[in-house]
């Protein structure tokens, strides 16, 4: 329970940090708003044309007696849209981080500066950094889908789908959401995605304490947009604990350095790598 509470504390500290530093909250809000508009347009298009797509994909049902073609196509249309929603939930954070890579890199660095210094990392050009982020996000998404798709199917099983499956789904989503959000600070430390996965597996309760409440809050319309800046800030604090062995208790009010010791093992007090945007 200790790690679970610690993960929740980092999430709360991240939200408090961006609220104290309003300029950075607005700065981190832009990528999430852009991603929201893109996803809303994609889901609206799916809702509009899902029925036509299902009819095109099931020509064999044209000769069936009524009402079977309608029942089949209605069920497939609902499944198609539900699958689109599941994919949107699983990928929203990854796409937002990719769209806002320069924004969130700067935000993450500022948070670390406020609690003792930014970890040193390799000098990586912007395009190379974006490619690494995309590659790592696809790796994480593939791993998440391996677990999410069977859970999605089991959700239609009576009793099991309304009790055990939602809890497992929350745990899986929370874990992988934490993995995505910590990628900003982890990549700055040149920690490969497979190593990040191993580190979080060793601290599952910490990951669930951070990501679980976020998953639940994302069920509220627009909550994901407004919580993203604080989630990135909190993830930066979590990484200092997970990767550096540092345990900051709070961020500075003004975004300046001070309050805590530098990150150990990663050059915590070093300068920001010049290859990163921001």
Which tokens sit at 170?
A: 């929350």
Which tokens sit at 155?
A: 């959700």
271 within domain boundaries? no
207 within domain boundaries? yes
251 within domain boundaries? no
Which tokens sit at 192?
A: 């490969």
263 within domain boundaries? no
120-161: per-residue pLDDT in tens?
Answer: 666 677 777 778 888 888 888 889 888 888 887 887 788 888
227 within domain boundaries? yes
Please give the pLDDT value at position 33.
93
39-63: per-residue pLDDT in tens?
Answer: 999 999 999 999 999 999 999 988 8
pLDDT at 254 over 90: no
170-179: per-residue pLDDT in tens?
Answer: 899 899 999 9
d(CA 134, CA 260): 33
Please give the pLDDT value at position 120.
67
Which tokens sit at 74?
A: 């209605």
Residue length of the chain: 278
Query: Mean of the per-residue pLDDT values for the chain?
Result: 83
d(CA 15, CA 256): 17
Burial class (CB in 10 A: 0-12, 13-18, 19+), 129: buried
186 within domain boundaries? yes
Short-list 234, 215, 222, 217, CA closest to 168: 215
Q: What is the DSSP letter of 257?
A: S
The total domain count for the chain is: 1
| Interval 175-195 mean pLDDT | 92
R_g of the chain computed on alpha carbons: 21
Q: Which domain holds residue 26?
A: 2-242
211-223: per-residue pLDDT in tens?
Answer: 999 999 888 878 8
């Amino acid at each position: 329970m200790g790690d679970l509470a610690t993960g929740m504390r980092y999430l709360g500290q991240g939200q408090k940090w961006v609220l104290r530093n309003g300029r950075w909250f607005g700065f981190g809000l832009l990528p999430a708003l852009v991603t929201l508009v893109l996803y809303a347009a994609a889901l609206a298009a799916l809702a509009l044309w899902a029925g036509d797509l299902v009819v095109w994909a099931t020509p064999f049902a044209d000769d069936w007696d009524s009402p079977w073609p309608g029942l089949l196509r209605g069920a497939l249309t609902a499944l198609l849209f539900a699958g689109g929603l599941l994919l949107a939930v699983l990928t929203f954070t990854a796409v937002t981080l990719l769209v806002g890579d320069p924004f969130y890199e700067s935000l993450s660095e500022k948070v670390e500066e406020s609690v003792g210094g930014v970890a040193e990392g390799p000098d990586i050009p912007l395009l190379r950094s974006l490619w690494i982020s995309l590659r790592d996000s696809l790796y994480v998404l593939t791993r998440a889908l391996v677990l999410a798709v069977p859970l999605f199917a089991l959700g239609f099983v009576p009793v099991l789908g309304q009790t055990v499956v939602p809890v497992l789904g929350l745990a899986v989503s929370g874990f992988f959401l934490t993995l995505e959000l910590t990628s900003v600070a982890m990549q700055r430390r040149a920690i490969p995605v497979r190593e990040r996965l191993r580190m979080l597996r060793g601290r599952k309760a910490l990951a669930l304490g951070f990501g679980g409440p976020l998953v639940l809050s994302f069920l509220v319309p627009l909550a994901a947009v407004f919580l993203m800046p604080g989630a990135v800030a909190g993830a930066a604090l979590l990484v200092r604990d997970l990767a550096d062995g540092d345990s900051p208790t709070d961020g500075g009010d003004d975004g300046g350095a001070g309050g805590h010791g530098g990150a150990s093992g990663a050059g915590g007090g070093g300068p920001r790598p010049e290859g990163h945007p921001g």
